[in-house]
Amino acid sequence: MSAAVIEPRGRQLGRSVAAVVLGFFATAALSMAVDVVLHQTGVFPPWGQVMSDGLFALATAYRVAFTIAGGYLTARLAPDRPVRHALILGAIGTVAALIGAVATWNANLGPHWYPLALVLTAMPAVWAGGWLRARSAVPAR
C-alpha cells in the first residue's frame, strides 16, 4: 500500500494557483506568438487592417487548440482534481473573453461572431484539455 503525499494547505493552494496562472499565460502567449508569426509572414494582413472571416476562423481554430492545451497544462500541474482546475481556468478565460468582447464590440475590428466564439469555446476547450490529462493519468487496466 502506498502512502499519499500530504502537502500543507498553503503549499497546495500555491500549486493550484500556479497551475491556473501558468495555463492562462501559456494559452495567451501561444495565441499571441502565432498571431505575430502570421502577421509577419503575410498570412494575416498588417496590424490594424481588418481580416477576412476565413482568417478569423483560422485564428479561432488555433485559439481553441491552445485553450485545450492550456486546460491540459493546468490539469497536469494541479496538485489534485485536475478537471476542476481546468474549469477554473475556463471560468477565468470566459470572463476575460467576455470583457474583450464588450470592450471591442463597437470598434469595427472584425466580425461580431469572433469574440462570441472565444467566449463560447473557453469552457468546453479547457474541459477537453483537463479531461484528456485526467484520462491519460489513469493507469491502464
pLDDT band at 50; cut points 50, 70, 90: confident
Give the model confidence (pLDDT) of 2-48 as tens digits: 445 556 677 899 999 999 999 999 999 999 999 999 999 999 999 98
- pLDDT value at residue 1: 42
First to last CA, the chain: 18
Inter-residue contact 52 to 121 (CB < 8 Å): no
Question: Residues with Cβ < 8 Å from 139, sequence gap 6 or more?
Answer: none
In a domain, 56, yes or no: yes
- How buried is residue 8: exposed, middle or buried, by Cβ count under 10 Å (0-12/13-18/19+)? exposed
Q: Which three cell numbers stand for residue 81?
A: 482534481
In a domain, 113, yes or no: yes
- pLDDT value at residue 4: 52
- pLDDT value at residue 130: 97
Percentage of the chain exceeding pLDDT 70: 91
Neighbours of 99 (CB within 10 A): 12
pTM of the model: 0.89
- pLDDT value at residue 3: 45
Give the model confidence (pLDDT) of 114-124 as tens digits: 999 999 999 99
In a domain, 1, yes or no: no
Question: Which residue segment(s) compose the domain that 71 sits in?
Answer: 9-137
What's the total number of domains in the chain? 1
- pLDDT value at residue 119: 98
